[in-house]
């Protein structure tokens, strides 16, 4: 994938870049369509998202969590992260690539790096969810070997029908 490199985020140095990408991800969700706006407002209200952004270095810290950055010529163009759910399961969150990097393979590279790291960390399973309308993301996860499954956590009422849940057995 020409011009794209993937590396583990160096905290706290890379925190502003990661937070900027995560806010861009939230904006992407809010502006995707009216249904997505409602869903993003339920899962990512601004105050709660601000707290989540402040907690990134803790929640996704080594040795069991991680944040990867995708860069093009040293400029961050995407990210993805994982954090432990328990001793055997990890969850992938907020895989996002900017408009400028869509179609470059950055999303696939970040996702593969997260899979490889989960395997190296000794997890047995990776879980994730995405919106049903994100066909590109769904195709990517299925190509990487993720299999559709039911919800793996409690959800706000009325949100389950909009989501697709996946697992990857390591």
Report all structural domains of the chain as residue ranges with CATH numbers, in order of start: 4-169 (3.40.630.30)
- DSSP secondary structure letters along 43-60: H--HHHHHHHHHHHHHHT
Cβ-contact 102, 142 below 8 angstroms: no
Q: Are strands 125-131 and 89-97 parallel, antiparallel or unpaired?
A: parallel
Does position 7 have pLDDT exceeding 70, yes or no? yes
| Tokens encoding 68 | 């990867």
Give the global pTM.
0.95
Cβ-contact 106, 36 below 8 angstroms: no
CA-CA distance, 104 to 166, in Å (whole number)? 23
pLDDT per residue over 59-100, tens digit each?
999 999 999 999 999 999 999 999 999 999 999 999 999 999
Average pLDDT of the residues of the chain = 95
How many angstroms separate the first and last alpha carbons of the chain? 25
E strand or H helix at 21, and its extent?
helix 15-32
Highest mean pLDDT among 2-11, 69-78, 154-163: 69-78
Specify the pLDDT at position 2: 60
pLDDT per residue over 45-58, tens digit each?
999 999 999 999 98
């Amino acid at each position: 994938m020409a011009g794209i490199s993937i590396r583990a985020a160096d905290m706290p140095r890379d925190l502003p870049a990661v937070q900027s990408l995560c806010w861009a991800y939230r904006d992407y969700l809010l502006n995707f369509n009216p249904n997505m706006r409602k869903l993003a407002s339920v899962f990512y209200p601004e105050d709660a998202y601000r707290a989540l952004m402040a907690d990134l270095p803790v929640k996704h810290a080594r040795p069991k969590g991680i944040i990867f950055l995708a860069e093009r010529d040293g400029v961050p163009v995407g990210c993805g992260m994982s954090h432990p759910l328990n001793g055997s399961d990890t969850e992938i969150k907020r895989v996002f690539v900017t408009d400028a990097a869509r179609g470059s393979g950055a999303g696939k590279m970040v996702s593969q790096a997260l899979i490889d790291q989960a395997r190296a960390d000794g997890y047995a399973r990776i879980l994730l969810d995405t919106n049903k309308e994100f066909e590109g993301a769904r195709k990517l996860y299925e190509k990487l070997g993720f299999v559709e499954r039911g919800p793996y956590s409690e959800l706000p009422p009325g949100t389950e029908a909009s989501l697709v849940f996946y697992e990857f057995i390591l």
